[in-house]
Structure 1
Amino acid sequence: MPAEITTPTTAVLGLGAMGLPMADRLAGAFPVQAFDVFEERRALAVRGGATPAATPADAVRGADVVVIAVRDQEQLESCLFGGGAVEHGAAESLRDGAVVVVTSTVGVDAVQDVAARLAAQGVSLVDAPVSGGAVRAGTGDLLIMAGADEAALDAARPVLSRLGSTLHIVGPRVGDGQIMKTVNQLLCGIHTAAAAESLALARALGIDLDRAVDVLGQGAAASFMLADRGPRMAQQYEVTDDGTGGPELRSRLDIIRKDMNIVVSLAKKAGVATSVAAAADQLYQLAISQGLAAEDDSALVTLLSPRTTG
């Protein structure tokens, strides 16, 4: 049974938009070993105080708590059990009694399957998807939605407390966190799509977008996604012929589409009609078909009101 360790040796697997600031945040308090398939991402983690590892197996050797921040189910499985670009998965080296914290949105079935496979070797899993974005990840201000048994949560609590200002224990089961995050993403996906539509309309009618974001943010139409994505949507129209002038890539469009696919699939299983979410999902799919998959998700606004270059 895992026990709480005040200063746990921690591994972070996945150093993308969320994983890197989380690694930096954790390295300010605990020994951190970090892995990513890209060497340049590992080098950035070193700047933040982490020790780099060439494989997930190397990163988790001796770790008490392992934080996983990957894109999807496929990356989660390869990170733990090998495959694809990963030769030695973390499961090779996880010690008996270690706790794995999955912060990614991968769906209920995926996290439950992984938890069962890890339990067979004496490793517990905390289902703890996060919300708040990269900036809040770096300052320890994330919202964490956790599902796990009490012993696993206690062991992971120092790490969770370092990463999040708000920790909600959604339920005692692995998968409860994924359920809550899916509900969260339903709103996030709809709000982002709605923000894109409203700003595309404002632009078409001749309203300055920075002013529109400011005005909308002070009334009943305000939302976190409008406040966060709105300024970047305005910047999408500043892109020039050489590709400069647009917003920094902070949240890929194919990630939010992946999350919306989970929303629609889970709602279908539950027998709940989510027609607005389904419409937003189709809008993201259309954007991907137009070559925007790797763009910041604020680029959705350009699908509705194309940007001009010059």
Structure 2
Amino acid sequence: MQALIDGALSAVNQEMSTYIEDSELMRFNRGPVGEAVPVSEHLAQVVELSLDIHRRSGGAFEVTVGPLVNLWGFGPQPEPEQVPGRAAIEELLQRVGSDALKVEHAPNRITRSREVEIDLSAIAKGHGVDRVAQLLEEQGIRNYLVEIGGELRTLGKNPKGADWRIGIERPDPAGRSVQQPIAVSGKSVATSGDYRNYYERDGKRYAHSIDPRTGYPLEHRLASVTVVADTCAEADGLATALNVLGTEAALEMAEREKLAVFLLVKTDSGFEERYSSTFTPYLD
């Protein structure tokens, strides 16, 4: 079984990694502009889901934001000695935009109308969890918890015969502790936050999450977003989108779409819990 799981995750990396030069995604990014490029079914599905979340979130989720992430020093490039200037940000904003992408099926193809590059790091990990879960179900396994880097998917019951209990982490850079336990079965859970990956320049904190609509790191007080959804890919992508939106807009979207969402908001005295009405049944 371990060999099958390793094989599935290796396949995901070979399809969607930006760190493997000859991955399918990197070959697409180096490919022609204005031509439909044949791709695997999995890559087409994940990009299509990304475009859907982009649309639903009003552009808060953006798989072409990579150049701006790199500019701010949160990609392969080191942290900049100086904060990027407005001119550099404006220039790279011209290379960002999901409106340049088109996905087709039967056959599976993706077209980019200008030189944008796709980075699926905000959704590919969730897709990897889904792939492992699918593999387990194909092997007849009906009780499982699959977890990769904090994103997870569940089915059935835990060894004690109860729903799976998951701890939502308290945003504390000093250590890991549970803010809120939840009980789930047959659902996926993903969390997005900016409390671990950041740097400071001239006394100001710059978080790794970039708002693709402005080109600047997020500055609101929303510390983390946890989403419960059917698939881990959707939970993963939605958590990132809602984190970019900020507290009020995130809750507004959650209520509008009946999303199960739990937020931790920074206050002067600690963290405030906020959650959508659809999330209530998961509180343990």
TM-score of the alignment, normalized to the shorter chain, above 0.5: no
More strand by share: 2
Q: Calculate the TM-score normalised by the size of structure 2.
A: 0.31
TM-score, normalised relative to structure 1: 0.29
Looking at CA atoms only, which structure, 1 or 2, has the larger radius of gyration?
Answer: 1
Higher helix fraction (1 or 2): 1
Query: Bigger relative contact order, structure 1 or 2, given CA contacts below 8 A and separation 6+?
Result: 2
